[in-house]
């Protein structure tokens, strides 16, 4: 099975890149790149995505290893929360006299 | 801050165009990919970046003093090595095996141009010349680069072989030059050593992959190392100038052992023998160059010489 965005014409596999911009912040997906293996993927990521001091840590993941939700099943997957306002904190009125809420 | 020099400006524009092209391709792939279940907020990805908020660091490493004639000459040697190598590497933009490698080599070239700018800036102050004067208005015999750096790019394996030797030599050189009695040279070396450390890692990774890849890539790696190895010796020759700069310059002959010790494990892991062959007589430090430097300088200097004093 080919990875999303991968093409038969590409010699090198696709990798997804995650960069952490500073300590205490989680790694964020910044894009993808091609590399022959994981070691070089980290180096390519350094050259492509941290040229302007964007990060202090890099993760690379083979694009193949990512399982995605089905884009055609958006309704079934993501519409259920609509109308269930009670799942949002702002739905609730603060009870009188309650401190520290 | 002064206007960026033409060298750096031009190369950086070229690299940035490629980077953005890479961004385009990458974004394209992501667009075709099925939604991975999260929306990209406007500021997600790179975090919130404001151009105005970015603090730019100094482009040049500058010291308090003007170099003596001998120190200026020494800085010229080192600056020319970096400048000539950077100019060769710039050719790979748009021509490397993959887009990602274009950018890797372009980044390395920009690092080297940074070193060359600081070194030539320091060197030129003694004769009241800017780094641009030295880069664009000297003739071939006035350049002091060693022959290794002006060797042609060849195929990718030749470029990697040249990088492998150059980066390992430069790493050992700058590691020691950082302790120089000359404060400016020491500061330039201290910054440069971190960058060439990455360059030697990049080269080593590729030596291993080419040597242990296919039969074809291995044959090319062996050929590349064989063609570049003759220019190793010139890097370790102690010219008379070095005797006059005790404590300031790094004695080249002392770098041979450490540079070999750094390269040997990589060659061993790659299953490669040390190439044996003729040894180039060199002469770059005296202005005697190979046939490669003339055309390289012609291309590098033509714009500045056609439009003297132009800026943008």
Tell me the shortest Cα–Cα distance from B109 to chain A, in angstroms.
12
List the domain range (segments joined by +) for residue B121.
69-306
| pLDDT of B16 above 90 | no
**pLDDT value of position B52:** 62
Give B124-171 pLDDT, tens digit per residue.
999 999 999 999 999 999 999 999 999 999 999 999 999 999 999 999
- Its ipTM equals 0.72
Give B216-245 pLDDT, tens digit per residue.
999 999 999 999 999 999 999 999 999 999
Q: Which residue, among B243, B169, B247, B248, has the nearest Cα to B203 in the 3D structure?
A: B169
User: Phi, psi at residue B84, to the nearest 5°?
Assistant: -65, -40
| pLDDT of B3 above 80 | no
What is the topology classification, in CATH, of domain A14-91?
Ubiquitin-like (UB roll) (3.10.20)
Residue B94 is assigned to a structural domain of this protein: yes
CB pairs under 8 A between A and B: 83
**pLDDT value of position B28:** 36
Tell me the shortest Cα–Cα distance from A10 to chain B, in angstroms.
10
Check B104 against A52: CB less than 8 A apart.
no
Give the helix ranges, DSSP H, for B212-283: 215-228, 240-243, 256-269
Whichever domain contains B172, its CATH number is 1.20.1260.10
Q: What is the mean pLDDT of chain B?
A: 86
Report residue B18 as tokens.
């490629």
Give B186-207 pLDDT, tens digit per residue.
999 999 999 999 999 999 999 9
**pLDDT value of position B285:** 96
| pLDDT of A26 above 50 | yes
Check B47 against A54: CB less than 8 A apart.
yes
**pLDDT value of position B277:** 85
Instruction: Of A76-80, B111-115, B140-144, give the lowest mean pLDDT range.
Output: A76-80
Q: Which residue, among B16, B150, B169, has the nearest Cα to B85 in the 3D structure?
A: B150
Q: What's the average model confidence in pLDDT over B9-30? A: 38
| pLDDT of B22 above 90 | no
**pLDDT value of position B101:** 93
Q: Any chain A CB within 8 A of the CB of B36?
A: yes
**pLDDT value of position B48:** 59
Choice between B133 and B61, residue whose per-residue pLDDT is larger: B133
Residue B51 is assigned to a structural domain of this protein: no
**Residues in CB range of B15: below 8 A, 6 or more apart:** B93, B103, B106, B107, B109, B110
Task: Report the alpha-carbon distance of residue B115 to residue B118 in Å, rounded.
Answer: 5
Q: Please classify residue B294 by burial: count the beta carbons closer than 10 Å to its beta carbon, then call 0-12 exposed, 13-18 middle and 19+ buried.
A: middle
pLDDT band (50, 70, 90) for residue B15: very low
Q: Any chain A CB within 8 A of the CB of B194?
A: no
Instruction: Look at chain B and report how many structural domains it folds into.
Output: 1
**pLDDT value of position B33:** 39
Residue B34 is assigned to a structural domain of this protein: no
pLDDT band (50, 70, 90) for residue B17: very low
Instruction: Locate the domains of chain A by residue range.
Output: 14-91
Q: Which residue, among B78, B53, B99, B86, has the nearest Cα to B284 in the 3D structure?
A: B78
Q: Any chain A CB within 8 A of the CB of B53?
A: no
**pLDDT value of position B41:** 42
Give A80-90 pLDDT, tens digit per residue.
888 888 888 88
Choice between B53 and B250, residue whose per-residue pLDDT is larger: B250
């Amino acid at each position: 099975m080919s990875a999303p965005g991968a093409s038969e014409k590409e010699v090198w596999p696709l990798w997804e890149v995650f960069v952490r911009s500073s300590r205490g912040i989680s790694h964020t997906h910044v894009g993808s790149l091609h590399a022959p293996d994981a070691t070089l993927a980290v180096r390519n990521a350094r050259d492509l995505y941290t040229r302007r001091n964007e990060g202090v840590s890099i993760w690379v993941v083979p694009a193949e290893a990512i399982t995605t939700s089905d884009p055609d099943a958006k309704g079934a997957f993501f519409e259920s929360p609509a109308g269930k306002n009670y799942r949002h904190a702002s739905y609730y009125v603060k009870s009188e006299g309650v401190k520290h809420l | 801050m002064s206007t960026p020099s033409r060298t750096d400006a031009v190369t950086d524009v070229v690299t940035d165009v490629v980077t953005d092209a890479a961004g385009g391709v990458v974004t394209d792939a992501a667009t075709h990919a099925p939604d991975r279940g999260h929306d990209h907020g406007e500021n997600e990805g790179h975090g919130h970046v404001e151009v105005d908020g970015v603090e730019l660091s100094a482009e040049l490493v500058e010291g308090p003093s003007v170099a003596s004639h001998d120190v200026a000459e020494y800085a010229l040697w080192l600056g020319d090595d970096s400048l000539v190598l950077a100019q060769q590497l710039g050719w790979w933009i748009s021509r490397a095996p993959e887009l990602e490698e274009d950018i890797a080599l372009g980044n390395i070239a920009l690092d080297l141009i940074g070193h060359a700018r600081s070194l030539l800036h320091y060197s030129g102050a003694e004769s009241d010349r800017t780094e641009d004067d030295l880069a664009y208005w000297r003739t071939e015999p006035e350049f002091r680069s060693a022959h290794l750096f002006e060797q042609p790019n060849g195929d990718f394996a030749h470029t990697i072989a040249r990088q492998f030797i150059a980066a390992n030599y430069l790493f050992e050189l700058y590691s020691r030059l950082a302790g120089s009695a000359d404060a400016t040279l020491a500061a330039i070396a201290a910054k440069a050593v971190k960058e060439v450390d990455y360059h030697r890692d990049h080269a080593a990774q590729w030596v291993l992959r080419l040597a242990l890849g296919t039969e074809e890539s291995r044959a090319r790696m062996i050929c590349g190392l064989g063609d570049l190895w003759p220019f190793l010796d010139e890097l370790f020759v102690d010219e008379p100038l070095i005797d006059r700069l005790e404590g300031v310059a790094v004695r080249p002959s002392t770098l041979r052992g450490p540079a070999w010790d750094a390269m040997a494990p990589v060659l061993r892991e790659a299953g490669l023998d040390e190439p044996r062959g003729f040894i180039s007589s060199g002469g770059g430090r005296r202005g005697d160059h190979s046939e490669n430097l003339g055309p390289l300088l012609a291309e590098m200097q033509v714009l500045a010489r056609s439009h003297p004093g132009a800026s943008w």
